[in-house]
Every structure is written in structure tokens, then in C-alpha cells.
Amino acid sequence: MLLKLLKYELKSSFGRIVISFLVYALITSILMIFFRDYETINTAALTFGMVALTVITFLTIFRRYNSNLYGGEGYLMFTLPIDGKVILASKLISAFIWTVALALIIVPSVIMLSLNYVDPNYIKDAYNYFEMNKVYVIVFGIEYLLNMFRSVLVIYFSISISKLPIWKKFSVLAGFGIYFVVEILSSIPTLLFKNVAVVAKTTAGFNVLVKDYSIRNILIGCSFDLLIFIILFFVTSYLLNNKTSLK
């Protein structure tokens, strides 16, 4: 059943996301083939395009969750004998697939801009840094991905909470409020550990507090992100099974 739901989920969100990817690829190809010498214009255009792709992709993911479960399709979805965990898993796997596809568009774009417009010495320094800090970079990347998908699940959870009958006409406000509350609460456990942030001095002589991205603190962040993800997964699944209110 999970594979059937996933196939349906990908098919439903395929059009808008893929079309936006193709438009971006076409514009990028035209700029880099015929207007390569215009560094400022190309950099600004591609940066704006990457931001727009990210916004379109995630808006599609979240709108799909809302319309499929709490719109007209929800009446059909919740008449099927499907557990909320399976429904939620299909949404999360679909979001993961589209996020990977987005990365496969954005990462080559950043590399292309770097190779064309960035001083080769900076590229060499970045490569040398990666070679000397492979473990750190990999751990940081894992923490970033986990944090991102935790945020996706927080938004799913916020949407589900906002659909509870108690909120009535204030569902949108409730959804935003729940999202920010969960995000704030999620950061508290990490701050309880010492040396999460260190004092650094700026070139102007001011002391500022800077987050310490040591491997230890990144692993602490990963642990809490994973714990929150697991809790929210089961709570959101419970809401889908027992507290769904369709309008």
C-alpha cells in the first residue's frame, strides 16, 4: 500500500515541480551559452532561480499534504483502510525524493557558477578543506538533512494541528503559532549543553556569541532532531487516524 500511495503522491506533484525544473534548466542553458560574459546578471539570475525552485518545490509539498488530506481528496483518502503512519510515510518519502531532485539541480548550478566566476584559488582552498575535514563535512551534511526533514515534519504536524475543530476560524493562525512554538522548543535541549556557543571577537573589536559547530555539538543536534522527528511522526500519525476534521 505504501508503494501505491507513494506512486500516487509523486504523480500528483510531478507536473508543477518538473515544469519548474525544466524552465530553470532552459533559462540556465541560454544564459551560460549565449551570455556567459555577463557575470553579475548570470549570478543574480541563477541565484534567484535557485531560490524560486526551492520555494516552488516546498510549497508544492506542503500544499499537497494539505489538499490531499484536508481538502476534497481527504474524503476518499480516509475512507480507505490505511494507517496514518503509512499515509505520513508516503508524504515524507515523496518530500525526500523531490528534495534530492532539487539538490541535483542546485548543486551543479552552484558548481557551474563557481567554475566560471570564482577565483580558482578559492575553489582549490575549498577542495583542500574538504580533503582535510571529510568526516566533519559529512556529519554536518547529515545534520543539515535531518534538520530539514524535521522541519518538514513540523510543518505537517502544524497543518494537522490547525485542522482540529477547536480552532474553527483561526486555523491558519494556529498552524503558524504551533510551528514556531515547536521550533523554539526544539532548540531548548541543545542550548542546555555547555559550549554550544563560543565568544568570538570581530574585526571591529566587539565580542559576539557564535554557535560552535564542532562535531560533538553537531551530533547532539542530530540526536535531538532524530528524537523530535520520531515523536512528531507518531503524534501526527495519531492525529491522522483519530482527529481528522474535514471541511
Q: Scanning the structure block, which residue is given the C-alpha cell 490505511?
A: 82
Query: CA-CA distance, 217 to 206, in Å (whole number)?
Result: 25
Query: Confidence band (pLDDT; 50, 70, 90) for 192?
Result: low
pLDDT at 33 over 80: yes
At 24 the three-state DSSP class reads helix
Write out pLDDT tens, residues 124-159.
Answer: 777 787 777 777 778 777 878 888 888 899 999 998
CA–CA–CA angle 140, 145, 150 (5° rounding)? 125
Report pLDDT for 36.
Answer: 82
> pLDDT averaged over the chain?
81
At 41 the three-state DSSP class reads helix
CA–CA–CA angle 156, 158, 161 (5° rounding)? 110
pLDDT at 52 over 80: yes
| Dihedral angle of Cα 40, 36, 24, 142, to the nearest 10 degrees | -70
Give the highest mean pLDDT range of 114-118, 157-161, 194-198.
157-161
Query: Confidence band (pLDDT; 50, 70, 90) for 245?
Result: low
Write out pLDDT tens, residues 204-218.
Answer: 454 444 455 666 777
